Structure 1
Amino acid sequence: MTSRVTRIGLAIWFGLVIVFLLFPLLFLGPLSLNASEILSFPPQQWSLRWYRALFTDPSWSGALWLSFKVAILVTVISVAVGTAAALAIVRHRVRGSAWLYGLSIAPLIVPGIVIALGMFMVFARLKWLESLPALVLAHSVVAVPYVVVVVSAALRNLDETVERAARVLGAGPWQTFHLVTVPALRSSILAGGMFAFFASFDDLIITLFVSGALETLPLRIWNDLNLRLDPTVAAAACVMVAMSMAGLGIAEFARKANLRRLQTEPDHG
């Protein structure tokens, strides 16, 4: 009886937390469809004009495209570096692997303002401010740890004997990695890549310090809120929320598909 009451209580608490987190979206969606140039709720007239402005206004569409470009580059770098770091820490057990793991995930613990200030000082000395490579490198610092955490956890749960069997059967290190390790980690790599993508796409603090004249979508929203309250901000926020949900949905679908594949392979074996 006590356990049942506990489960019901936890379910109710979980539901309340979800409602609290999603409650602002009930206002954000209608605000983005408001035909008025002033944010008001409920809308008197409905229109898609602010979504058109988001994709046609050069200041907004340029910021959106820059955020996409930076996030894609950051994702590629983070997946490559983070996966390699996870393999070195978990599989190869390099000396001081525990310290290396702690160091690799430190950006998740250190306050973002500290990282942003450090990046600003380094890039200012190197005269790299206001450049796309500087922005990509700065975002990669906070994106790589997500890949390291996700892929490391997957590697610890992956049976190492499967990789050893491939080596015994004549596969080299790269063949084993390509044909055995990567397929088993595909969903985890995808999930880590999704986290890295949105860590870059949604970043504001580091961008404020190192972007200079470059304006990403979060920075465009920030600048707009400081100057005037344009309803395009609500449309941009809705697009970002939709992208986040779609990304998490893709990652979850890949995870379940990979889990089903791993479960059916032993049955056929």
Structure 2
Amino acid sequence: MSPWVRALALVIIAVVAAPMFVVLPMSLSSSASLAFPPPSYTLANYVRFFSDPNWTQPLVNSLIIGVGTVCVTMLVAVPASFALVRYIFVGRGLLNLLIMLPMIVPTIVMALGYYMYFGKLHLVQSYVGVILAHSCIAMPMSTLILTAALKGFDQSVERAAMNLGASPFTTFRLITFPILRPAFSVAGLFAFIASFDEAVISLFISGRDKATLPRQMFNAVRQEADPTISAASSFLFLLVLAGICIWLAPQIIRHPERSAGSAEPNGATQPAAAAS
């Protein structure tokens, strides 16, 4: 990698990570509002975030809605992806367009449509309504991930299993799913992130009792500049960072030589090769 590319990557990382160096200190601030630099440091904002029902309930709601969104999205995206990749039928292009439509339509327009349509169905201010709306938002990305994986999948292994007497369901359970498990995991993860991060639609249809964490954070900034929002943001950042570390730790433990070898310059291995 050239020095210019490394320098550009470091600049991009610095720009992306710079706001966290402001949010993290503010989460420990003793000020009654958002202030930087903090006058003094305290854990009161974190205590309130984990004890105040105005914050704990939206966090629980976001987790429930996120898990529900993953289930609904995968139940629709998996068969849709198989149909789009492996079959040719009338309306195939229209189906693909409908699935990708949420990526084209502005979120505020979709939120207004959900509010009017779900209002007639009495789904506003309910888990079901928010999950269905979030599933529509998550559907395009999850479908794109699954279709990309299916296009590179070797169907000969499925045909071999069926020739040996396996049923289609058994073939999917023992052959297709284990091979495509990473794609399924990534698609589900993107669905959860899309749901957990969605604020505009939640403002329209979640209501007070089913408010999500992004909606509560938006209200905290708009109404009173509550510093607890910085604790919530820092907690989510640290949670993601911990997840990345947990995911990388087994690989580093099992293959420490890879990380050590990648850190050495190419010339460092030449004397050893010449000696052998």
1:217 is aligned to: 213
RMSD of aligned Cα (Å) = 2.3
Deviation at 1:188, TM superposition (A): 1.0
Aligned-residue offset at 1:102: 3.0
Q: Which runs of 5+ in 2 are unaligned?
A: 256-276
**How much does 1:251 deviate?**
7.7
How do 1:153-164 residues align onto structure 2 when only pairs under 5 Å count? 153-164=148-159
Q: Select 1:83's aligned residue among 78, 102, 106.
A: 78
Give me the whole-angstrom Cα distance separating, in 2, the residues matched to 1:98 and 1:15.
Answer: 42
- Asked if residue 199 in structure 1 is aligned to residue 194 in structure 2, the reply is yes
Q: 1:22 aligns with which of 11, 17, 27?
A: 17
Normalising by structure 1, we get a TM-score of 0.85
Q: Residue in 2 aligned with 1:35?
A: 30
Change (3 A) 1:174 1:92: farther
| 1:181-238 residue CA offsets vs partner (Å, 9 max, x unmatched) | 1111111111111111011111111111111223111111111111111110001111
Flag structure 1 segments of 5+ consecutive residues without an equivalent: 261-269
Counterparts of 1:1-269 in structure 2, within 5 Å, are 7-213=2-208, 214-245=210-241
Deviation string for 1:13-71 (max 9, x for gaps)? 22212211111011111111113323322323222211111110011101111111111
CA distance in 2, matches of 1:240, 1:93: 43
Q: How many angstroms apart in 1 are the aligned matches of 2:220 and 2:143? A: 35
Question: Runs (4+) of structure 1 moved beyond 6 Å?
Answer: 248-254
Aligned-residue sequence identity (percent) comes to 36
Structure 2 length normalisation: TM-score? 0.83
The answer on whether the counterparts of 1:134 and 1:210 sit within 8 Å (CA) in structure 2 is yes
Q: Equivalent residue of 1:105, what SS?
A: helix
Inter-partner Cα distance in structure 1 for 2:164 and 2:242: 40
How much does 1:250 deviate? 7.2
Mapped contact 1:107–1:145 kept (Cα < 8 A): yes
Separation (CA, whole Å) in 1 of partners of 2:81 and 2:238: 30
